[in-house]
Amino acid sequence: MQPNPDTLAAVAHGGDLHEQLVDAANQVYGAHEGRRALHSKGFFCEGTFRPSSEAANLTRAAHLQGDPVPVLMRFSVAGGNPDDPDGEREPRGMAVRFRADGAETDLLCVSSPVFVTRTPEDFLELLRLRVPDPDTGQPDMEALGEFLQRHPESMAAVQATLGTPPPASYAQLAYNSIHAFRLVDSEGGGTWIRYRWVPEAGEAHIDDDEQAQSRDADYMQADLAQRLADRPVAFELTLVLAEDGDPLDDPTVAWPDERRRVGAGRLEVERVVDDPERDGGVVVFDPTRVIDGIELPDDPILHARPHAYSVSVDRRG
């Protein structure tokens, strides 16, 4: 693959693209010692995933072969301020690490159906435009509007964020991989899919923003802990199968709702656990950490993520 000329230009004007992405995120949300640049507010859980036989028909990946698999999870708010209240209109994240037969693979999903840009260069530009003016405390809305005119593909993610009321619970959100992955079966055959976690409790939001913002700043973590005191919280992992023409390398485009779906298994969230990063530990969920039986698309946003995460980790202090 040839280097993207925009990437080369970014490097020539201020260092590595991935360092610039973290710099810009810190300018938008502030730099917070020991925290991620994005998805900085979050907490960890443990549970068990039980794959379905249908999943094993599509891939030879170890965690989808039928045996129960222990998982580590992190629920989070998408922004970079760890003090943001849970009542904000922001996407939520659900990162899952499967541990099967000594191998680990990560699945990162968000409540938004799509990402906001096609390339990391465009994402860098958008982040820089969101940096607040020191005098007004607000970004340049005219410049942001011009960006959206030049990048109409970004509108779906913006509308999903602004048009979705604050969530009622982490247990009542659906989460989407936004990236495609190729599942490879025992014969070498491949199927392109996107992942979706569907909550067994159904989806729910708080339609009144004032009511959401009047709740405790950490109401979603408290809600999940209370639910888990009674019973596990469950999600079904659904595989959304691509058809001809569905983009495999563009996370700004949602696939049609009528695409065939296959149930891949059931996840039970069993307990909130102590933060493994509390005393300086580092846990990095990486969407490109895949195992035999799963392959990656040629998606620029997907491949930029682990490099930006490495920069963010290096700066945690």
Q: 62 with 293: CB under 8 angstroms?
A: yes
Structure confidence at residue 279 (pLDDT): 77
In contact, 219 and 86? CB cutoff 8 Å? yes
* Contacting residues for 95 by C-beta, under 8 A, at least 6 apart: 73, 74, 76, 106, 107, 108, 109, 285
Number of helical (H) and strand (E) elements in the chain, helices listed first: 9, 10
- Of 13, 18, 39, 63, which is the active-site residue? 39
pLDDT value of residue 317: 62
What are the pLDDT digits (tens) for 61-72? 999 998 999 999
Q: In sequence order, what are the residues at sequence separation of 6 or more whose Cβ sits closer than 8 angstroms to the Cβ of residue 210?
A: none
pLDDT, tens only, 156-185: 999 999 999 999 999 999 999 999 999 999
Note the pTM of the prediction, 2 decimals.
0.92
Does the annotation count 39 as an active-site position? yes
Quote the pLDDT of residue 280: 76
Q: For the chain, list residues with pLDDT below 50.
A: 1-14
According to the model, what pLDDT value does residue 316 have?
A: 78
CA separation, residue 148 to residues 116, 127, 145, 159 (Å): 10, 13, 5, 11
Question: Which pLDDT belongs to residue 282?
Answer: 86
Please give the Cα distance from 54 to 264 (Å, whole number). 6
Pull the structure tokens for residue 95.
């990162």
User: What is the pLDDT at residue 10?
Assistant: 39
Domains assigned to the chain = 41-116+152-297 (2.40.180.10)
* Selection from 73, 124, 89, 76 nearest residue 235 by Cα: 73
